């Protein structure tokens, strides 16, 4: 599957989500690219960059872009995050969504500790 097909499927997924959950706020996260993939100028890195660019063009969807990218540690394959990094990323995303002030009710906020 090429990047364009992936993007078209993603757009369709958000269209279905908007139809099924019309009062929801939709979020998508940018995909982090490891230095290892960047240095190799790999096809994977180019595809991820293109997908990230296209995601920002989907109307009605908020794109989360983690500010902790430099803290993220990837496994040797340059694709998968370490468990600690996955936790940091998740907490960062939750914080960004919490900052939207429409995601979580005032009472019963989601704990950021995992």
54-92 pLDDT tens trace: 888 888 888 888 777 778 888 888 888 889 888 888 888
pLDDT digits (tens, 9 = 90+) for 22-52: 998 888 888 888 888 888 878 888 888 888 8
State whether CATH 3.30.110 applies to domain 3-99: no
Question: Could you tell me the pLDDT band of residue 108, with boundaries at 50, 70 and 90?
Answer: very low
What is the reported pTM? Answer: 0.69
* Residue 104, pLDDT above cutoff 60: no
Q: So what's the pLDDT on residue 94?
A: 87
Taking phi first (over 0 means left), then psi (-120 to 50 degrees means alpha), and beta for anything else, what does residue 74 get? beta
The answer to whether 48 and 33 have CB atoms below 8 angstroms apart is: yes
Contact 86, 68 (CB under 8 A): no
Question: What average pLDDT does this structure show over 15-19?
Answer: 93
pLDDT of residue 101: 58
The confidence score (pLDDT) of residue 9 equals 92
What distance in Å separates the CA atoms of residue 30 and residue 16, rounded to the nearest whole number? 20
- Interacting residues of 37 by C-beta distance below 8 A, sequence separation 6+: 44, 45, 48, 78, 79
Domain-by-domain residue ranges, the chain? 3-99
- Per-residue pLDDT, 17: 93
């Amino acid at each position: 599957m090429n990047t364009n097909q992936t993007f078209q499927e993603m757009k369709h997924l958000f269209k279905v989500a908007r139809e099924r959950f019309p009062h929801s706020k939709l979020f998508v996260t940018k995909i982090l690219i490891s230095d290892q993939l960047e240095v190799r100028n790999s096809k994977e890195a180019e595809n991820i960059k293109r997908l990230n660019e296209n995601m920002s063009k989907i109307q009605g969807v908020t794109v989360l872009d983690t500010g902790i990218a430099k803290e993220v540690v990837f496994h040797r394959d340059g694709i998968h995050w370490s468990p600690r990094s996955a936790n940091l990323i998740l907490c960062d995303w939750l914080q960004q969504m919490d900052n939207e002030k429409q995601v979580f009710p005032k009472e019963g906020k989601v704990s950021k500790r995992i």
